[in-house]
Chains A and B, each alone.
Chain A
Amino acid sequence: MKEKTLIITAIICIIIGLPSLFFASQFVKADDPRILSSLSGKVVKIAEKDKITIIDVEMDNAMPIVSFDKIKIKKGDRVEIKGEIATYKGKLEFVADKVERK
């Protein structure tokens, strides 16, 4: 087998692979529902059970709350938020359905 034949075969693989990659990349999910993030904070409560441990952590950094509606609040307000935890670009955020001032 000539080395030239091997190189030509390799180039053909690249030529076939590139449009296949382009086509597949139009349909593939880049983000992932899996939560992969890191948290830091102060432990305020520890509850040890048989097979699990539950800890309450007062987090160092605030979690971003994303609302798609206009909300009338200002800094310092106490709020109650209803919604769900999600990820965006691998980070945790809370998508709010409803934000109420308490």
Chain B
Amino acid sequence: MIEYLLGIVIGILFGIITGLTPGVHINLVSVMLLSISAILLEWTSPLMIAVIIISMGVTHTFLDAIPSVFLGAPDPDTVMAVLPGHKLLFEGKGWDAVRLTVIGSLLCLILAIVLMPLFALIFPIIYSLMKPILGWILILIVFIMIIKDSNKKWAITVFIFSGILGLIVLRSEIRQPLFPLLSGMFGISALLLSLSNSVEVPLQVAEETIDVNAKDFLAIIGGAISGSFVALFPGLGAAQAAALSTIVFKIKEYAYLILVGGINTVNFVIALVSVYTIEKARNGAIAVVMEIISEIDLTRLIFFAAITLIVGGIATILTLKIAKGFAKVIEWIDYKWISLGIIGFITVLSLILSGWVGLIVLVISTAVGVIPQLCGCCRSNAMGCLLLPVIVFYVL
């Protein structure tokens, strides 16, 4: 028991680093742990390493909202939180934005754990029923997304441009393709527009109470369900679930941030149920866990559920405290320099992770990413970069 608590602490520490550092994803750290697992196993058990990775993953899903909101530097799972989070930041409510994602993450986590037995029963049925028609369902949802947009011409243009870019990039030999693709599309594009508008970050207000109403809490149910179902299918992750959920549920910023936070955490945790039921690992970190422990039976599923509950509680408190610190620091620094620093950091990281081709992807994805904001169409259309490759995968 003490060993597992130590594993939780180590995992949380790793999760803080990956969550707060743009560009450092848990998959990267998980693969590094796998590569040295033969050495680690001289001192500890395979299950302990799995505890570290899962603790890291859950912590990451809470903390990654902080760089998304305060720095405009999202990771692949929080891209959909950048714009509403940034909007609240410039209203002096950046800390509220992070708290909303934490509310979503914690409450959706609790709901997902409570619903785990139900998911374990229905996942195999849903997987076998939906898999043959999933591509067509996605096509229908995208069609509805474009039809509902107030600027249909630009919505189609953005979807097609981003989709073609996604198809090319994700089928290429580029290392870490998602980083330049999504950072340009949703990160740098937003930062460039902030710079061009010469925005200043106002004083961040940190009130004790955050204003959420009953309707906003419905987003918790939406987050738990959509985050869980995308954990069943390859090619679908938190970002796609968030994009699809915004089409289905027309919700405002507060509920939206709760939804995105919830989907992010639930998607990671319910991947354990996917392994237990259909023996498929649906995210990189869980795939590494399966390399180390090879199977998740019922006792291990309950064991990991307990781990995620403990880590979720600790990560909630940590995120609230760290976000408060960020909110204070960001007032002292000229946001122009923060934006330029982040753009520079993402550019250098793209070059390191993905090479000079990654830089080209970054530039093109940034160009595509500014179009929705300049032309007045919905930003979700840029998720074509992930949706179109998934549609092609399932349909063709």
Q: Which residues of A contact B (CB under 8 A)?
A: 1-4, 6-7, 9-14, 16-18, 20-25, 27-34, 36-38, 89-91
Contact = CB atoms under 8 A, between A and B. Distances in A.
B103 interface: yes
* For the complex of A and B, 4 pairs with smallest distance between CB atoms: A90-B41, A17-B310, A13-B313, A17-B309
A83 to B, nearest CB: 22
Contacts of B128: none
B310 A21 contact: yes
A11 B312 CA distance: 10
Contact of B316 (A6, A16, A20, A25): A6
A19 to B, nearest CB: 9
B209 A1 contact: yes
Contacts of B210: 1-3
Contacts of B136: none
B38 A4 contact: no
29 contacts: A1-B103, A3-B209, A4-B208, A6-B103, A11-B313, A13-B110, A14-B309, A17-B310, A17-B313, A18-B306, A21-B1, A21-B4, A21-B306, A21-B310, A25-B1, A27-B299, A28-B300, A28-B303, A29-B297, A30-B48, A31-B45, A31-B47, A34-B293, A36-B38, A36-B292, A37-B38, A90-B38, A91-B41, A91-B42
Contact of A6 (B106, B292, B293, B297): B106
Nearest to A9: B106
Interface of A is mostly: helix
Contact of A25 (B106, B291, B303, B312): B303
Interface residues of B, number: 42
Contacts of A14: 309-310, 313-314
Nearest to A35: B294
Contacts, number: 121
Contacts of A12: 313
B103 A17 contact: no
Contacts of A29: 47, 297, 299-300
A57 to B, nearest CB: 16
Interface of B: 1, 4, 37-38, 41-42, 45-48, 99, 102-103, 106-107, 109-110, 208-210, 212, 291-295, 297, 299-300, 302-303, 305-307, 309-310, 312-314, 316-317, 320
A7 B99 CA distance: 11
Instruction: Report which residue of B1, B41, B47 has the largest number of chain A beta carbons within 10 angstroms of its beta carbon.
Output: B41
Contact of B302 (A20, A30, A38, A90): A20
A6 B299 contact: no
A1 to B, nearest CB: 5
A30 B1 CA distance: 11
B293 A32 contact: yes
Chain B binding surface, main DSSP class: helix
B45 A25 contact: no
Given A1-B103, A11-B317, 15 more contacts: A3-B320, A4-B208, A10-B316, A10-B317, A11-B313, A13-B110, A17-B313, A20-B306, A24-B302, A25-B4, A27-B299, A29-B299, A31-B46, A36-B291, A36-B292
Given A11-B313, A17-B307, A36 B41 contact: yes
A22 to B, nearest CB: 6
B310 A30 contact: no
Nearest to B315: A10
A16 B307 CA distance: 11
Contacts of A3: 99, 208-210, 320
A10 B293 CA distance: 29
Contacts of B106: 6, 9-10, 13
B47 to A, nearest CB: 4
B62 to A, nearest CB: 10
Given A3-B210, A29-B300, A36 B46 contact: yes
Contacts of B42: 89-91
A23 to B, nearest CB: 8
Contacts of A32: 46-47, 292-295
Contacts of A37: 38, 41
Contacts of B45: 30-31, 89-90
A33 to B, nearest CB: 7
A85 B294 CA distance: 18
B46 A16 contact: no
